[in-house]
Structure 1
């Protein structure tokens, strides 16, 4: 039922096909996993097909190694009328250890669309805890910052 599944975690093993030239998991593979988890989270919250409209603030904190167990956790942190801001953390660990470490963090904005591809309304998410309020407020601050950055970028786009 829409408006109930706010978060999810995808878990899997990093495979040899995910490796880059430096012998670690390729950043592009991590970004794909982030997009998949963001989609699954947004679709679960909205009950609709969703598209990615923004991925930003991606921080690659530590590398992921082939054979690591990877966990991509996604959580709705703000909703607009048709959009959902999804906070994502990627953690990894050696399968022989229980110690996980943060490898990547970012925010992805997804928009729910109808069968014609037009934006479609989503259930409102209302923060319940102090932590949820902090996440929502952070999403709003980031949204305001993106607007300012977009205005600054106009000079580069139109030159």
Structure 2
């Protein structure tokens, strides 16, 4: 099996937030940021695998603070974990305000990407060479994220068919809902 350094796929992408990206509240649409994240995850995963890559899952995106028109958004990405055909790309988003030089961490997230060949079949990706404590920690976090994601998919596939209505009603009793 081939192995590659984490640094081989590290990607930094910067884009100016323009007025057409703004929502009705004057802030940049979260969907614009998600689109940029998807693009950067693709770039990073393709650099690692040397293949066409597709998004399998968005493992988590938390918006810590709004992005404003005029900000320079910088996305830093790396392949943090690899499975057989998938990679978890970790990304950190920072906003730079040119007028005052202030940099803010606006969000972090993880995308699971899969490598495919020209026929659309999944292909094996190179392993990762972990060169320092940060890369080792991120790999272990990625392994944990993958496990949680697989468990979540299993729950969603089950469609709660093995739980009776009575059990579901009891489970929702203390929640903010009314059951008719």
TM-score scaled by length of structure 1? 0.92
Unaligned stretches of 5+ residues in structure 1: none
Deviation digits for residues 32-86 of structure 1 (CA, Å, limit 9, x no counterpart)? 0000000010111111111111112111011100010110111110111111110
User: Rg larger in 1 or in 2?
Assistant: 2
- Give the length in aligned residue pairs: 158
What is the Cα-based RMSD across aligned positions, in Å? 1.7
Contact kept? 1:18, 1:66, Cα under 8 Å: yes
Contact kept? 2:40, 2:77, Cα under 8 Å: yes
Partner of residue 4, structure 2: 3
Contact kept? 1:55, 1:109, Cα under 8 Å: yes
Paired residue secondary structure (1:62): coil
Q: Aligned match of 1:65 in 63, 68, 77?
A: 68
TM-score scaled by length of structure 2? 0.82
The answer to whether 1:131 aligns with 2:139 is: no
Partner of residue 117, structure 1: 120
Partner of residue 149, structure 1: 152
The list of structure 1 runs, each at least 4 consecutive aligned residues, that deviate by more than 6 angstroms after superposition, is none
